[in-house]
Structure 1
Amino acid sequence: MLQYNDRVPIRQGTIDAIEAGCRHIDTAFAYLTEDMVGEAIVDVIKRGIVKREDIYVTTKLSFEVSNRKLVVPTMKKALKRLQLKYVDLVLIHTPVNVLGQKSYDYLEIWKGLEDAKRMGLTRSIGVSNFNRTQLDEILANSKTMPAVHQIEVNPTFVNQELVAYSQSKNITVAGYSSFGFLVKRVFNDLSVPPTFEDPKLVRMAKKHGVTVSQIVQRYLAGYRCIDTAFGYLTEDMVGEAMADVIRRGIVKRTDIFVNTKLSFQYGTCSEVVPAVKKSLKRMKIDYVDLILIHTPRNVMGVENYDTFEIWKGLEEAKRLGLTRSIGVSNFNSTDMARILANSKTLPAVNQIETNPTFANQELVAYCQSKSIVVMGYSSFGFLVPRPFNDLSLPPSFEDPTLVGMAEKYGVTVSQVVQRYLYSKSEILS
């Protein structure tokens, strides 16, 4: 448990986290950190690093709150410590009467949270450490669905039944103690497999060129954006993989965002819908979430090639429900301007190369000025070798500035590069 005198690093640690790109701050009365977190948030907002609306702040009620009438006053005190007008989420920390108070009733506390939400003191309300029976009591006695259920979930305590039940009720699961018993705990020395030396975890880390810690985090987060293309010759393999994980109940189709791109061999409007239907057949799905014109260039020298005619074909595919969104790839501002001037359908995305060795800033700014999402590919640029050339552009993975930043935040240079792109509001592909 954090001791009061150990709190000093919390302020700077929160500042460092926000500067590094963290936008979700999780605190609680019991952590004795709300005032330090508040000072950190004031600091980064004052220096223009973020706006208040850029940060998602979660806190939890004190164990002393035992009934409805105590909730709003307690929330106001928490906001005063945090120096905020509202939090994004507040949770009942536990359904257990930790302090043994008389008349403790978490249903009454929930009603108090509903009051706090109506008053604008919090945007959302939720629970933490509830079991299924306790969740059912909330659901049966309230019209307000918990937005979040924060519980322990990790490779040493997967908590699958409770995760599945929460999700079946459309309650988001926020996991804590993500490393489980891979790291030591203050209250006991229990050792539960796996460990950081687990052969399977080590092999997976080596295979993907990451750390075991990153494998664990990836296990919890899951990968949900699948980017393919006819030109990659991968649509059929991607389709088989999706069918497998959907059949095994790992995900639903609606959990995955599937993006593909048209073949280079089609250049007219009438060819697009049949081409999209062939892609869907290869991927064994009824629709894609996004389909792109792979390039405005007539790569294969086909007759009557016209990107605007292809765009009209994509509009038709969208009308038919074959795709949820349509966009472009590798278009410059002139290519984009032609579509914008002649179509009422705004491209949802422009997928382009953008990275520290090729920032592509003017095109990124142009797209964002038109409310077109930039999806970046080749996120490491020339930091990694390319099959088509041996061009070497700075920076490299040994760049002193990048190495210094990685050491400062306790991450890898790869993570610093990824964070750079995220901070520019670009989606990585």
Structure 2
Amino acid sequence: MDTNPCKIPELTLTSGGLKMPVLGFGTASDPPVQPETAKRAVLEAIGLGYRHFDTAALYFTEEPLGEAIAEALGLGLIGSREELFITSKLWCSDAHDKLVLSALQRTLKNLKLEYLDLYLIHWPVGSKAGIYEYPIKKEDFVPMDYKSVWAAMEECQRLGLTKAIGVSNFSCQKLSQVLSTATIPPSVNQVEVNPVWQQKKLIEFCKGNGILVISYAALGAFGTFYGTNRVMESEVLKEIAKARGKTVPQVCLRWAYEQGIGVLVKSFNKERMKQNLGIFNWELTKEEREKIGEIPQSRACLGHDYTSVHGPFKTIEELWDGEL
């Protein structure tokens, strides 16, 4: 383990001034990794200075993450649970008002934690209760009652089981629906953001409503079933990286950091984990930012798996409300 872990800057969430490390370590993997591999990667990440960890019921990494946290405490890599920022997510089949609390309690049991820092609705669509699967069968999709599900999320926060609540993969329009009835507004919207899908409109909308955007697929999720190599193979990004003596991932992550958003990175390779931390002691020039701003835009995570003729969203246009 490294003796001098990196100190990662923090962003402040609207919920009680909660501090969140700007760079988080993602634990989703396609195909899924062995639990021991995930646990070892988290321990290495903690040793390097990562303090923000992102999981979900869907990822099947809650248990190894919990084991890694317990081991890190035992080894003295961290002094207390409070040094960490832990996020998990509500799956579609639990996105029913009467199931939200029990789903969070199950997540906490998996993690062996008393509370989360952030709990997110994973997708803006529900599926039949009790049928836990991915991909979801097309006939099992059901509309989500945003009002009652969000009220149940608020109750989880009031009970102290999570310090903040938010959403993931919500368009401006769907966020507006949640905001229209919310007593506690969402603190976060976790969505795809990278130099080839910059989400300027959504980020502006979120900032205007006190919602922090967190980026997933920050490097294009290359190698996953939904990912793209357009980020890693971008000539613009490669030229900037070469000129600055950086890697393409470092350029992407620095760009995201300069947007004022949180960003998740996922690598189970220790050397790349370390490289991904090397983004805080330099900045892009105005010219470099402008070049990145001119990159042709296209979404990688289209979300076809969440559309169905039987469900609330028949097409990806409906899922994203035209934000394509």
* TM-score, reference length from structure 2: 0.65
Structure 1 residue aligned with 2:36: 8
Aligned equivalent of 2:45: 17
Corresponding residue number in structure 2 for 1:122: 162
Given that 1:66 and 1:103 are in contact with CA atoms closer than 8 Å, whether structure 2 keeps it comes out as no
Give 1:96's aligned residue.
125
CA offset at residue 408 of structure 1? 4.7
Q: Secondary structure at the match of 2:106?
A: helix
* Per-residue CA distance 1:326-378 (angstroms, 9 max, x = gap): xxxxxxxxxxxxxxxxxxxxxxxxxxxxxxxxxxxxxxxxxxxxxxxxxxxxx
Residue equivalent to 1:159: 199
TM-superposed CA distance for 1:47, in Å, is: 1.5
Amino acid in structure 1 at the alignment position of 2:233: F
For the aligned residues, what is the CA RMSD? 2.9
Counterpart pick for 1:196 among 221, 225, 233: 233
Tell me which residue corresponds to 2:60. Answer: 32
Contact 2:96-2:126 within 8 A present in 1 as well: no
User: For 1:103-143, what per-residue CA distance to the aligned partner results, in whole angstroms no more than 9, with x for missing partners?
Assistant: 64232111111111111100000000011111111111112
CA distance in 2: counterparts of 1:408 and 1:122, whole angstroms: 30
- TM-superposed CA distance for 1:24, in Å, is 0.3
Structure 2 distance, partners of 1:414, 1:147, is: 25
Indicate if the aligned counterparts of 1:15 and 1:41 stay in contact, CA closer than 8 A. Answer: yes
TM superposition shift of 1:11:
0.7
2:95–2:121: 8 Å Cα contact kept in structure 1? no
Q: Distance in 2 between matches of 1:413 and 1:78?
A: 31
Equivalent residue in structure 2 for 1:410, among 267, 272, 283? 272
The structure, 1 or 2, with the larger RCO (C-alpha pairs under 8 Å, 6+ apart) is: 2
- Check 1:139–1:10 CA distance in 2 against 1; reply closer, same or farther (3 A cut): same
| Paired position in structure 2 for 1:72 | 101
Work out whether residues 55 and 89 of structure 2, in 8 Å CA contact, stay in contact via their aligned partners in 1: yes
CA distance in 2, matches of 1:220, 1:72: 33
Q: Which structure has the greater CA radius of gyration?
A: 1
Residues 43, 69 of structure 2: 8 Å contact kept: yes
Counterpart position of 2:179: 139
Shift of 1:3: 5.5
TM-score scaled by length of structure 1: 0.50
Q: In 1, are the aligned partners of 2:250 and 2:275 still within 8 Å (CA)?
A: no
Structure 1 residue aligned with 2:284: none
Residue 414 of structure 1 and its aligned partner are, at CA, apart by 11
Equivalent position to 1:186, from 210, 218, 225: 225
Question: Is there any run of 5+ residues in structure 1 with no aligned partner, and where?
Answer: 225-250, 252-406, 420-429
State the AA in 1 paired with 2:271. Y
Residue identity in the other structure for 1:218:
R
- After TM superposition, the runs of 4+ consecutive aligned structure 1 residues lying more than 4 A away are 1-5, 411-416
Partner residue in 1 for 2:18: none
Q: 1: distance between equivalents of 2:38 and 2:31?
A: 12
Unpaired runs of at least 5, structure 2: 1-28, 128-135, 262-268, 282-324
2:178 counterpart of 1:150: no
Rounded to whole Å, the distance in 2 between the matches of 1:135 and 1:75 is 21
Change in CA separation of 1:414 and 1:105 when aligned onto 2, cut-off 3 Å: closer
User: 2 CA distance for matches of 1:223 and 1:131?
Assistant: 18
